[in-house]
Structure 1
Amino acid sequence: MGDEVMVVTTHEGVPQEFYGAKLVGSRSFPCPWYNKVPLSLALSPRIISEVSNFKPDIIHASSPGIMVFGALLIAKLLCVPIVMSYHTHVPIYIPRYTFSWLVKPMWMVIQFLHRAADLTLVPSVAIGRELEAARVTAANKIRIWNKGVDSESFHPRFRSHEMRLRLSNGEPEKPLIIHVGRLGVEKSLDLCKKIMDRLPEVRIAFIGDGPYRQELEDMFTGMPVVFTGMLQGEELSQAYASGDVFLMPSESETLGLVVLESMSSGVPVVAARAGGIPDIIPEEQQGKTGFLFNPGDVEDCLSKLIPLLYNQEMRESMGKAAREEMEKYDWRAATCKIRNEQYNAAIWFWKKKRAQVLGPIEWLWSRIFPSPDVKYG
C-alpha cells in the first residue's frame, strides 16, 4: 500500500484530489503588504476535523505565511511530529516592505516556530548556516531539503519560434534574456534596467507577476521589454526553453527553483552569487553549467552575460551541460530522501522529546500510584 498524503492549501475551490493527494482548501485573505500572497491560519473546525480524521503520522508545514502557526497548533493538539521547511527568507524582505525594527521580532518568531518543530528543512547550506548562527534551532535538527526539478516538463524540446516572437516583441533574431519569477522589490530586478541601458540591442522578457510589476513597467517605458504575466503549463515550458540566457539578479533566493527549471530547459543561467544559488552552480562548475556574479555588480554581470549572448556555440554547450546536470535532480529521488530519511528523523526526535517530557511524569505517577503486586498460583 502506498503513502497517503493530504495537502491543506490557502486556495479555496481546489479539486478534491491532485496526483493522488487529498486537497483541502482554506479561506484566505491577502497579505497587507503583498497582495499576491494569500494568508490563512487554517484553524477552522472543518480543517481541524479533516486533519484529525486523516490520522497523519507526520505534518509538514511548508508555508512561509501564518498557516505555519495553524499547522503547529494542530500538530500539538493531535500529538503528531511536525517538520517545518524554511524556504522564504522573511527577515530580508521586512525592511523592503515594512519597518526595519520588525526584523528582530521576526527572528524571535522564527526561533519560536522552529524550536517547537521536530525538524527544520532548508534549501541550501548557506541558509542552514544562517539559521544556525541565529540559533533558530539545534544544529542537528537542520537538514538540507534536496532540490528536485520536473525534467520532463522543463525540457529543451519546448523551444518554440512562436513563443520567441512573443517574448522578443517580434524580433526573434535579437539576443533574448528571460527572467521567470515573482516580481517583487526584493528580487533586485532594477539591475536588469542597468544591463539594458548598456546593451540596447538585447531584448528581455519578464515571466511572472507581483506587486513590483507596475514600477518595473514604468522603469522600462520605451524599452524593448515584454511582461507576459503568469504563464503555466506548456506556455511556461516554452517560455523557459525559448530564451538565450536566464538572468537571476536576486540576492534573497533561498530555493532557486526557477534556476533549476531554466537549466533543465537547456538555457544557461547567469545568477547572483547569493542564497541557495551557489549550491546549484558551485565554483567548480563556473563556466560549465552556468555563471555567478557578485550581487549588484553590473560590470561582473555583463562580463558573464555578453559572451553567452553573442557566442551561440558557448551558449549551446553550456545549455547542454546544464541540462545533463539537471537530469540528476530527479523529483522521485528527492521525495524518497525526504520520506525515508528526514521524516523518520523528525519522528525519532519527536519520540525522544516525548520520552524526556513524559518519562519523569510516568515515574512520579508510578511512585504515587504503584501497581498492585499480582500473585499467581
Structure 2
Amino acid sequence: LPLYPELKVGPPTLSTYRELQAFKPDIVHIIHPVIIGTVGLMMGRRLRIPRLASFHLDLAQMARHHRMGIMEPVMNLFARLTFNAADYALAPSRLVQNHMQSLGIQRVGLWGRGVDGEKFNPRFRNTAMRETLSDGHPDETILIYVGRLSAEKKLEQLRPVLEQVPGTRLVLIGNGPDRASLEQHFAGLPVKFMGYMSGEALSQAYASADIFVFPSALETFGLVVTEAMSAGLPVVASQVGGVCDVVQEGVTGYTFVPGDVDVLIEGVRKIAVSRERITEMGIAARAFAETQTWEVMMDEVLDVYSNMIEKHQKLRK
C-alpha cells in the first residue's frame, strides 16, 4: 500500500477462482477485503458458500493521518459495501466494533487477538540485554516501545515523559519513515534506537525493560501491548484499538485519550514510583496475558465458522 509500504497486497490471478473451486471450501474467510479479499467475496458468492470478513486495517483513518482526508469518505464507503457483502464480519476490539457499526456495517462480532506466551515471557529477562538497552544504566527505569516509527504512532509525545519523570530512559524498537526525525527530536535525551529486532533478541528486549509505552493515535488492535504484558510489563497506552479491552486501569497499567500527554506522563509516574510497583503490575499484566492465548482466540473463530456453516446448510435445505 502507498501509505504503508510494509503491508503487501496480493493481487488475484486467473487461477485464483479455479484453485478455490477445486479446494471446495465450506467457508471463505477474508482477512480485510481490499483487492484479493474483495475478489474472494465475489467468488464465495458465486460458489454459494458463507463468507466471513475480518477487520484489520482502517484505511480511512490512515488516509486522514497522512493528510489525504479527501479519500476518507471513499474508504468508509468501500468498507461499508465490502463488509456488508459478507455474511458476517469480525472486529478485533469493542472500539473497532462500534466504529464499524457507526459506518453502517451490519452483523459485526468480536474476534480478539492472542499472544504467544512462550515467546513473550518474563523468563527472557537478561542482564546483558538490560545493560544494552540502558546504555550501562540498568538501575534506571527503562520505557520501551515496539513498532513502526511513523507519524501515526505519535512517539514525539514521549519526550516530555523523559523530561518530567526522573530516572527514566526510552528504548525504541522498530524502523520506519520517521526514524531520522525522531533521532533529531530526542537528541540529548536518554533514548536508544535499536532498529528492527526479532526472535529471542526481541523476547529478551521486552522482558528486560520496565514499562511499555504506546502513545499511538491509530490502531485496529495494537498487538504489541499484549506482547509486552505477556513479557511481564505494565503498560501506559492510548485508548486506541484493543487497548481498553486488555489494560485494566491501575492494575495492569494506565490508559489515556490519544494526545493527552499530561495523563501519559502521570501514568508513567504512577508506575515508576517504585521497583515494587513495577513488579506488582507486571505480574498482574502477565496473569491477564495468559488468558489471551492464540489457542483461545482461534477456538472463538472456529466456533464462528461452525455456526455460519450450520446456518448456511439449514438455509440451503
The question of a shared fold, defined as TM-score above 0.5 by the shorter chain, is answered with yes
1:46 Cα deviation after fit: 4.1
Match in the other structure for 1:309: 272
Q: 1:86 to 1:221 in 2, by over 3 A?
A: same
Q: Are 2:56 and 1:90 equivalent residues in the alignment? A: no
Match of 1:266 among 229, 232, 244: 232
1:145 Cα deviation after fit: 0.1
Letter in 2 for 1:334: M
Q: Secondary structure at the match of 1:34?
A: coil
Give yes or no for contact 2:33–2:82 (8 Å, CA) kept in 1.
no
The alignment yields a C-alpha RMSD, in angstroms, of 2.2
- Give the TM-score, by structure 1 length: 0.78
Percent identical residues: 35
1:179 Cα deviation after fit: 0.5
Give yes or no for contact 2:33–2:83 (8 Å, CA) kept in 1.
no
Match in the other structure for 1:216: 182
Give deviations 1:65-120, integer Å, cap 9, x for gaps.
53322322332343332211113222211112242111111111001110111111
1:32 Cα deviation after fit: 2.1
Q: Which has the higher contact order (CA 8 A, sep 6+)?
A: 2
Q: 1:53 to 1:192 in 2, by over 3 A?
A: same
Q: Secondary structure at the match of 2:282?
A: helix
Letter in 2 for 1:37: L
Give yes or no for contact 1:36–1:211 (8 Å, CA) kept in 2.
no
Give runs of aligned pairs for residues 314-329 of structure 1, distance below 5 A: 314-329=277-292
Structure 1: tracts of 5 or more residues without a match? 1-30, 360-377
- Give the TM-score, by structure 2 length: 0.92
Match in the other structure for 2:128: 162
Match in the other structure for 2:13: 44
Q: 1:56 to 1:230 in 2, by over 3 A?
A: farther
Give yes or no for contact 2:271–2:277 (8 Å, CA) kept in 1.
yes
Give deviations 1:291-344, integer Å, cap 9, x for gaps.
1123212221111101322410011011011111111112212211211x2112
Q: Which one has the largest radius of gyration?
A: 1
Match of 1:107 among 38, 51, 76: 76
Letter in 2 for 1:327: E
Match of 1:193 among 159, 179, 184: 159
Letter in 2 for 1:346: M
Give deviations 1:227-265, integer Å, cap 9, x for gaps.
222211111111111111000111322212111111111
Output the CA distance in 1 between the equivalents of 2:16 and 2:132: 43
Q: 1:58 to 1:214 in 2, by over 3 A?
A: farther
1:200 Cα deviation after fit: 6.4
Output the CA distance in 2 between the equivalents of 1:240 and 1:306: 20
Q: Are 2:311 and 1:342 equivalent residues in the alignment? A: no
Match of 1:225 among 191, 197, 206: 191
Give yes or no for contact 1:153–1:237 (8 Å, CA) kept in 2.
yes
Output the CA distance in 2 between the equivalents of 1:303 and 1:210: 28
